[in-house]
A and B are shown apart, each in its own frame.
Chain A
Amino acid sequence: MSLFQVIRSPKVYEVCIVGSGAAGGAAAKVLTDQGFEVVMLEAGPMLDVSKHYTEHVWTYDLQHHGYGVGASGYNGEGDRELDVAHIGHTIQGEPYTSAPDSPFSWQRARLLGGRTNHWSRVALRMSEADFRQRSRHEVGSDWPISYQDLSPYYDKVENFIGVYGSIESLASAPDGVFQTPPKPRCTDLMVKRGCDKLGIPCIPGRAAIITQRHNGRIPCHYCGQCTQGCVTASTFSSSQVIIPQAQATGRLTVVPNAMARELLIGKDGKVSGVAYVDKQARAERRVMAKAVILGASACESARLLLNSRSSAFPNGAANSSGAVGHYLMDSSSTSVVGFYPQLTKLPPHNDEGTASVHMYVPWWGENNRNSFSGGYHIELLNGRHMPGPNAFGTVARHFQGFGSDLKKRCQELYGRTALLAVRGSMIPNERSYCEIDPEVVDQWGIPVLRFHFKWSDDEIRMAKHMNENCKAIIEAGGGQVISESGSPQSRYGYLGPGGVAHEVGTVRMGASSKDSVLNGFCQAHDIKNLFVTDAGCFTTNPDKNPTLTILALSWRAAEYLAEGAKRGEI
């Protein structure tokens, strides 16, 4: 038997979904609820809670204390030992390349549920202004849809997954359907004290973690370990909250360890199915469907399209515009750490909370005259969490030295420092894109991506604003800055491209088929029965973390597909 024997499945599904994360999960829910028969390809294994979850494990019970074998998980270099999805920017046998002077970290998950197993759960709606970047600032692009188009789907998503937050009526941070937020941690209160003095808003966080019973799920128990797997499913992941429900309808077939290679294009120019590699059998297989939804992640979906060359689409499926792979964006990000000496007066206590934000600073400068056109928000990510391998790196770099003094410094600062993690917008630019590397294939024989990435001057100018305001907030609250996020030369400590893992834009939607791949329903301009509903479809990358918007866009696209199919149009 040949290793690469092609096995054709005679069955034709109504819809094939590639990917099981936020995009694939939301589409699977909508379609199976409406009676469609769906097959889902996932490049990783099924979720096995007993094997993948490390919730409530003590680091000292792990042989490597969380460092991973050979310290492979240290500083997020590779396989994170305590992460459900073992997120890292290397996957054995599945490389990618970067152009010279253009490093890009591509964080991927290979597990049912994808990166929803891992994400920070920060769940922010994009604002009305976020959809109209070009109209407002004469840079970037306008989306082909408005906030009003998406708002009902944000409602549906929040009602379904459960999100905590508070009603604030801020233009830059539209309110949603919220459960009660958890109380602030001590460092959150200190940051708020500084913000109040400066007239900067600091409001309860918004995160996809339930604080009250919701759709049969029990509330959060505040162990702060969402990314290690939540046995009570109090934190939202596609693998726990969506897939089992969709499977229970009897209409969802999940094919694990299935690495999509190419879209199959019929003589009529429509997509007829997906060719994939069964990773366990190392066999080539095909699945046929009347419509295909890609939710493989922005860059993975772009790769699949670019690798689907045919006489009808010599530059890749649905790529008559040439836009596939282009307009790659990540969140611009920097961070500042402040120590609050007042907190040493409090007795030690359990200040762990959720793994997400209890408070955050929404963008407040949209009506100011800024030297940049974007915006950002500040996530407050601290508390008295279980120390990981790098928990005291900042303290060591700040105080240096050694011995009893350093030990006491660590004990003094533990849980009394606030990490102000900034997440900012990025404007699409011509120099940031991914393409197929003509010379490299992965172990499945699939040509890999090569990345090109440059921040624009707009993001660099915004970094200065981020840095100065974070320091001002810390100092106004009585804190001391202990981690400077870099100098102007180091771009104020900007994380490397891909570092926030909010990569979007590579299969973008737009009003014109000349410079975009999809219409406002995530439907390919060129191929009417093909949809891309992951963050590839984003037209711009505002400061809002993408997952909630992916869920809403994919929900909306799936309803559109369902209606079209019922009318016989798709």
Chain B
Amino acid sequence: MNGINRRIAIQTLALTPVIAAACEAMQAGDANQHASTEPKSNAPKAFDNHQYAMLRSVCDSIIPADETSGGAVDAAVPELIDLLASENGDYRTRLTGGLQWLDAACTDRYGRDYLQSSTEERNEMLHLIAYSENATQSPGLSSGIAFFTFLRDLTLGGYFTSEIGMKSLPYLGNQFVAVFPGCPPVPES
């Protein structure tokens, strides 16, 4: 079904209450299919401006740009996380709560919130919550560790499913291959 006919069909079907739910699902499907044509809004959906600035900063620390490839912010990972959090209340709670925790932890330790802390201080704080074993010595870090683990998974997932991230690997598939060549000779050790 092409776009216009499909849209008309959805509008028509939506007049029947019992299938309205199905139409919503179809429209959600449409949004998926035509993602790249939709204009991107700059205002975050799930975060306030302070939280979003923090999110961008932490994502950039998790996957920074380097000499060979862009980083998580270049790959629009914060935008993806914002989208997912705007649709999933649990994600939103875990992320906004985790960012609040991070501000509180920095204030306790450095007397300033995360973004106002120095680069060295931010780096030190992230190191504290980037390793699960740190919770053994400092149980107070466990909430921060859980938050960072969650955000790190989302950042890696968003980054390596992006064009920039895929090229950095590099991923060379998604091709038509007539004969699968197999693996080149592998050294013994």
Residues of A within 8 A of B (CB): 51, 56, 58-67, 69-72, 74, 81, 92, 182-186, 188-190, 220-225, 280, 282, 342-343, 345-354, 384-393, 395-397, 400-404, 406-407, 410-411, 414-415, 478
Contacts and interface: CB of A to CB of B under 8 A. Distances in A.
B165 interface: yes
Query: Which 5 pairs from chain A and chain B are nearest by CB?
Result: A183-B182, A63-B35, A70-B87, A352-B173, A186-B183
Interface in B153-168: 153, 156-158, 160-163, 165-166, 168
Nearest to B157: A389
A259 B102 CA distance: 50
Contacts of A81: 32
Contact of A387 (B29, B71, B160, B184): B160
B80 interface: yes
Contacts of B4: none
B171 A386 contact: yes
Nearest to A353: B180
B156 A396 contact: yes
5 contacts: A69-B87, A92-B21, A350-B173, A352-B177, A384-B169
Nearest to A400: B131
B73 to A, nearest CB: 13
B172 A350 contact: yes
Contacts of A65: 80, 157-158, 161-162
Nearest to A3: B18
B173 A385 contact: yes
Nearest to A221: B176
Contact of A223 (B149, B173, B186): B173
B8 interface: no
A189 B161 contact: no
Interface stretch (B59-67, B104-112, B113-121): B59-67
B170 to A, nearest CB: 5
B189 interface: yes
A60 B186 contact: no
B145 to A, nearest CB: 9
A112 B153 CA distance: 35
Contact of B156 (A221, A282, A410, A478): A410
A221 B178 contact: yes
B82 to A, nearest CB: 12
Given A186-B183, A189-B183, A224 B163 contact: no
Nearest to A354: B180
B64 A384 contact: no
A400 B169 contact: no
B146 interface: no
A407 to B, nearest CB: 5
Contacts of B177: 221-223, 350, 352
B160 A391 contact: yes
Given A387-B160, A392-B160, A71 B91 contact: yes
B178 A70 contact: no
Nearest to A346: B184
B126 interface: yes
A190 B186 CA distance: 9
Interface string B115-151: 0000000000011001110000000000000001100
Name the residue in A59, A345, A401 with the highest tally of chain B Cβ atoms < 10 Å from its Cβ.
Answer: A59
A388 B61 CA distance: 22
B167 to A, nearest CB: 10
A411 B21 CA distance: 42
B189 A478 contact: yes
Given A65-B157, A390-B153, A71 B84 contact: yes
A462 B152 CA distance: 34
Nearest to B169: A414
Contact of B186 (A222, A343, A391, A397): A343
A387 B178 contact: no
Contacts of B32: 62-64, 69, 81
A63 B126 contact: no
Contacts of B163: 58, 60
Given A185-B182, A406-B152, 6 more contacts: A60-B163, A71-B87, A92-B25, A354-B180, A392-B160, A393-B156
A69 B30 CA distance: 12
B64 A407 contact: yes
A561 to B, nearest CB: 36
A402 B130 contact: yes
Contact of B157 (A185, A223, A280, A390): A390
B9 interface: no
Contacts of A352: 173-175, 177
A48 to B, nearest CB: 9
A316 B157 CA distance: 47
B84 A224 contact: no
A404 B64 contact: yes
B88 interface: yes
B181 interface: yes
Nearest to B18: A282
B28 interface: yes
Contact of B61 (A56, A395, A402): A402
A182 B180 contact: yes
A58 B80 contact: no
A61 B31 CA distance: 11
A390 B152 CA distance: 11
A58 B186 CA distance: 30
B189 A402 contact: no
